[in-house]
Chain A
Amino acid sequence: MSEPARIDASAERQPASEHWLDRADARLRGVLHGDAQERGLRYAARLALVCCLAYGLCMGSYAGRPGQMMVSAVKVPLLLGVTTALTLPPLLVVGTLLGLVSKLRRLLVAIAAAQAAVGLALAAVAPYTLLWYTTIAGYPIAILFNGAMFAVATVAGHTALRRATRPLVAEAPNVRWLVRLWVVLYAFVGVQMGWVLRPFIGNPGAPVQFFRESAWSNAYVEVWRIMRQVVGG
């Protein structure tokens, strides 16, 4: 056997010798490309948790207060986790009704992969957020910037979800409708969850707090009221 051929064979036999960065890269790509298998459920959930926590720390660092950083680090994973938990029961019941029981486990893995993709995207843009905080002053514009970062992460999550559910849709076209329904419900609940859990950034003029006194209100009613004020002058 020639020398290069021997090296190739040994590389195939010993995947453990692969650099840990390459292994991490393969796993992350697996999540982003929707290749996460059933055993990847726990990995995807852990990844989402760690990445959201990291972004929360950055998000809360606007006024340089460690208390707000800790609070935001808890809130960002809560935002994604509780929203997902609230939208899973209807997903499971309607999925069962549509005759997709055998696909639900894989769908849950796909949803976990999508959450991990959201978290990864947030963690990836966290340096931009820090750069923004240090170079551009202004609380309202910081809110807008974070909104834009969340929008980018949402697109990443949706892309991962679409990729992960593609084989399922090929097997059962009804999965597409179930996923669409879930996405709408997730967005509907997520908006209110984000509203209730604010502040994430922390106004420098206000004390650090987990919930605002005015947290208990309806996001949609507030948005509608603002729109009416804008239109009505």
Chain B
Amino acid sequence: MLIAIRRLDAILRGEATRPADLDSGDLRIPLAGIALVNVGLAAIYGVCMGSYAVFRGGDDAWMQVIASGVKMPALFGLTLLITLPSLYVFSALAGSSLKLSSVVKLLAAMLGVCLAVLASLGPIVAFFGVSAGDTVESYQFMKLLNVIMCGVAGVLGLGFLLRTLNRMIAIEMYKQEEADRAEALERGESEVIDDEPAGVSDAAPGSAERDTEPGGVHAEPGVRARAFAQRWDGPGESSANAGALDSMGQPTDRRAARVYRVWVVVFAVVGMQMSWVLRPFIGHPDMPFTWFRDREANFFFDVVRMLQTLLGISGE
């Protein structure tokens, strides 16, 4: 568990997603450990969300805290479960070379970032929950506040996903490029090298020399990643100090990156609807505790209704 927390810290610091660590084409994180940490972080935020009900009183107010603490990990887990198969299949179809285990680890890391941000915002949500009144407007405010908090965490988490994915795909492409180059040199077809795709011709200084050495294609782990990192480093910059959200160039495999971008939108939409299915998370001040509410409308209608109530266009 402690190792998993340390790895999550390394993910947040960007140390786990630097080119040298992605050389194997995989994130070196303990999947089960990170999943457990994620569950814990989601539960912390869930408890903070449910604190609103406790301070409004009622017979089963504490049940709302427990329910929210259980439902938040379920919300993220179920959303991932629903969207993961389509992501894997369509990214493979689009030509991504990432293995299923790599995709799962990448998504676990993304959720870790997302949930760490959410958990850090938890005390603020709990403070507003404790101090908010028991009026319908304050309840709607709490809902809107939680939507904004989840939105902020989601943007940061998904930004991390796309940046890390770009790095992983770029390293894979760089490896492929090196292999092709070595193969061409073996055949003596040096003119093939000149016919490179745009954006990959500015190889790191010295990388061509390395390729000509025996065993260049099968160099020890980290060598290619360092060469890759050198290629992306700008003047005065170093990828060794890059943060988790720092961009390291444009995506080199646009089709695969596009699949992930579409998936990000799908993940957000499914997540929002899943939160609607699993509601209540906060607990309406005028309603008794219930684990689930009746199926009616959807998340987006509710956001509109929430804004209408707050703006006084129509009361509940």
Using CB atoms and an 8 Å cutoff, list the residues of chain A in contact with chain B: 86-87, 89-90, 92-94, 96-101, 174, 185, 189, 192-193, 195-196, 215-218, 220-221, 224-225, 228
User: What is the minimal beta-carbon distance from A84 to any residue of chain B, in angstroms?
Assistant: 12
Complex alpha-carbon distance, A100 and B122, angstroms = 22
Contact flags B74-111 to A (C-beta < 8 A → 1, else 0): 00000000000000000000000000000000000000
A100 nearest CB neighbor, chain B only? B243
Residue B176 at the chain A interface, CB threshold 8 Å: no
* B128 contact set on A, CB distance < 8 A: 192, 218
Determine the distance from Cα of A221 to Cα of B120 in the docked complex, in whole angstroms: 24
Docked pose: A215 CA to B130 CA in angstroms = 11
B107 to chain A, nearest CB (A): 17
Interchain CB contact under 8 A, A90 and B124 = yes
- Contact A220 B131, beta carbon cutoff 8 Å: no
Choose among A98, A101, A189, A195 the residue that contacts B245 (Cβ–Cβ < 8 A).
Answer: A98
Which residues of B are found within 8 Å of A174, using beta-carbon distances?
243
Contact B12 A97 (CB under 8 A): yes
Contact A99 B120 (CB under 8 A): no
Q: A97-B243, A217-B132 are in contact. List 6 more A-B contacts (CB 8 A).
A: A86-B124, A89-B119, A90-B121, A90-B124, A94-B117, A218-B135
CB proximity of A86 to chain B, nearest CB, Å: 5
With both beta carbons as reference points, the residue of chain B lying nearest to A220 in the complex is identified as B141
> Given the complex, which residues of B lie within 8 Å of A217, measured CB to CB?
131-133, 135, 138
For the complex, what is the distance from the CA of A22 to the CA of B236, rounded to whole Å?
42
Name the A residues within 8 Å of B241 (CB-CB): 99
Considering the chains assembled together, what is the distance between the CA atoms of A144 and B241 in angstroms?
A: 49
- Interface residue? B244 (CB, 8 A): yes
A192: chain B residues within 8 A (beta carbon): 127-128, 131
B244–A99 touching, CB < 8 Å: yes
Q: Collect the chain B residues with CB atoms within 8 Å of residue A98's CB.
A: 243, 245-246
Contact of B55 (CB < 8 Å), options: A94, A101, A216, A220: A216
Tell which of B14, B121, B137, B160 touches A218, judged by Cβ atoms closer than 8 Å: B137
Q: Is B123 an interface residue (CB 8 A)?
A: yes
Q: A94, A216, A224, A225: which contacts B132 (Cβ < 8 A)?
A: A216
Given contacts A90-B121, A185-B124, A192-B131, contact A218 B244 (CB under 8 A): no
Contacts of B122 in A (CB 8 A): 89
A99 touches B243 (CB 8 A): yes
List residues of chain B with CB under 8 Å of any chain A CB. Answer: 9, 12-14, 55, 113, 116-117, 119-124, 127-128, 130-133, 135, 137-138, 141, 156, 160, 241-246, 310, 312
Contacts of B119 in A (CB 8 A): 89
| Chain A residue at minimal CB-CB distance from B312 | A228
Which residues from chain A contact B116 at a C-beta distance below 8 Å? 93
Measured in the bound complex, the distance between the Cα atoms of B124 and A174 in whole Å is: 23
* Interface contact A87-B131, CB-CB below 8 Å: no
Q: List 7 A-B contacts (CB under 8 A).
A: A90-B117, A90-B120, A90-B121, A99-B246, A192-B127, A218-B137, A221-B135
Give bound CA distance, A62 to B141, whole Å: 34
B117 partner, pick from A97, A185, A193, A228, beta carbons under 8 A: A97
Contacts of B243 in A (CB 8 A): 96-100, 174
A96-B241 Cα distance, complex, nearest whole Å: 12
A101 to B133, CA, bound (A): 38
CB < 8 Å: which of B12, B55, B124 contacts A96? B12
Q: Considering residues A101, A185, A196, A221, which has the most beta carbons from chain B within 10 angstroms of its beta carbon?
A: A221
Q: Residue on B with the closest CB to A93? A: B120
Contacts A189-B127, A218-B137 given; indicate if A89 touches B120 (C-beta within 8 A): yes
Q: Pick from A96, A196, A216: contact of B13, CB below 8 A.
A: A96
Question: In the complex, are the beta carbons of B12 and A93 less than 8 A apart?
Answer: yes
Least Cβ–Cβ distance between B227 and chain A, in angstroms: 22
Which residues of the other chain, A, contact B242 by a CB distance below 8 angstroms?
99
A20 → chain B, closest Cβ, in Å? 41
Are A101 and B13 neighbours in the complex by a CB distance under 8 Å? yes
Complex Cα–Cα for A198 and B125 (A):
20
Going nearest first, the 3 A-B pairs with the smallest beta carbon separation are A99-B243, A217-B133, A89-B120
The contact of B14 among A99, A195, A225, by CB within 8 Å, is: A99
Inter-chain contact B13/A86, CB cutoff 8 Å: no
Measured CB to CB, the closest approach of chain B to A158, in angstroms, equals: 20
A224 to chain B, nearest CB (A): 7
Cα-based distance from A215 to B134 in the complex (angstroms) = 12
Partner of B244, one of A92, A97, A220, A225: A97
Within 8 Å CB of A99, what residues of B?
13-14, 241-246
| Residue pair A97, B160 in contact (C-beta under 8 Å) | yes
Evaluate contact between A89 and B123: CB separation under 8 angstroms: yes
B55's closest neighbor in chain A, by CB? A216
Within the complex, what minimum Cβ distance (angstroms) separates B200 from chain A?
Answer: 25
Smallest Cβ distance from B144 to chain A, in angstroms? 10
Report how far A196 CA is from B312 CA in the complex, Å.
24
Q: Determine how close the nearest CB of chain A comes to the CB of B128; give it in whole angstroms.
A: 6
Contact A221 B123 (CB under 8 A): no
Say whether A196 contacts B131, CB under 8 Å: yes
Interchain CA distance A78-B122 in the complex, whole Å: 20
